[in-house]
Structure 1
């Protein structure tokens, strides 16, 4: 993982994503291998070294774990109190962070009187008090409703951009990966089986992705060419289907398709079926317009 990325780790529930994340800040130890963060092998740190290391690694949990009977101000102050930060520095940092997470009007409200989304904002602010360079998110939105989830993801994106914090997201919600992640890795049985840009991974229809999502095979038409194409909807590629039909006088059928949204980009993937005799014409046309495509066969699927 590179500095400044929002990196998603996905695999089936119960397979060890959260355990891996907890290894990253030493909450769990492991028996073999090496986990290197910023040149530090986490598993080899002694108690005092680990304590100092954790200052640079914030963490947000699925359950917010904030102090219900304390105010927003007191919750955010708590980590700084543990490190004997001066009262004046605490106050300045708290006011900076409540503005960042948009809870300025809740500063002296007890946590027990906040909504689930507001509590998670407090937890996010608290995780940033010691100026971490890495923020670990363990299913941080899975207990929230869809609209609150969207707002929390927008907040994490803002934090990533404004503070240049590397964020590692463990989730089983693919919408989270599509919305904010700049990189993603699919894990299976303790191994990385696919990684890269989310748009590339999710549009790949790889065996690993299909196993993760439980995807069904394409609907292919017999006695015809079945061509999978991927179009970037934010570019001139969006009009290629109508142009293809007009310029080549081609009759085709769309037998399957979907639209995927990734951060600021949207793609559509679809399967076109047409007469085999027109294949070379279609391939030349798509090549000329820099369109990604693949010929599908029953054997492949």
Structure 2
């Protein structure tokens, strides 16, 4: 899992560090943010110490009503060795008891001028992106009619050549050879190209080509949500390939299952057209139009009608 620290938050959101500078490199391990209202009231039984703590006007207004001893006690319990940082919103002043406790425990105290709700939202989004699970898959990612299609298959099967043909047909390349996939917001898979090979496509016998230079900025995308896997494999005469498309196969990517189509490759088959139609057909299925199921229902109706005529 990538490492995120309070120092990254300071750089990304231009936060002001008030105290506890020694702890700005503590690791943040979860994207969840805690607003310690119950803790301000003295209930620390389920205190999520490993989360970033966010103090707004509500928490600090309640804290101001406590006695001096209670203030010291609450802030000492709030600042632990596990706490990655405490952020104060709206540009509010940090209580002296909090600054003292943070210096003793090495907990960074940060301040932002943003409202509490807005600050919680943008930091959560940032942490979810940075802490998301990632993987790298050997394949090609293409945006076809708004569908993020991941082409996979053995080396030399024709993935890059198919992607080149798709780009010529007006679709957009995201990544070739290696696709970095990040799982964001639960089950959303977002793919992008490694920085080193961004916009590049490798064609055997031709070499490396720059797709953006050759076809223009409209031929590439920096990232795309991955929703469909099309696996290319050499034609096997002993294998029975799906001819109706009723049974839908899936493939796991990180913690998410995405639909998978297996397309056999042999001379004479126009892979770009087949992949393009597969993406369009997948889009129709998501809209509730399934040609295979409609054909199956028609066939069942014809058989039932034939049986009735016989009797």
Q: TM-score range by the shorter chain?
A: under 0.3
Q: Report the structure, 1 or 2, having the larger strand content.
A: 2
Structure with max Cα Rg? 2
Higher relative contact order (CA 8 A, sep 6+): 1
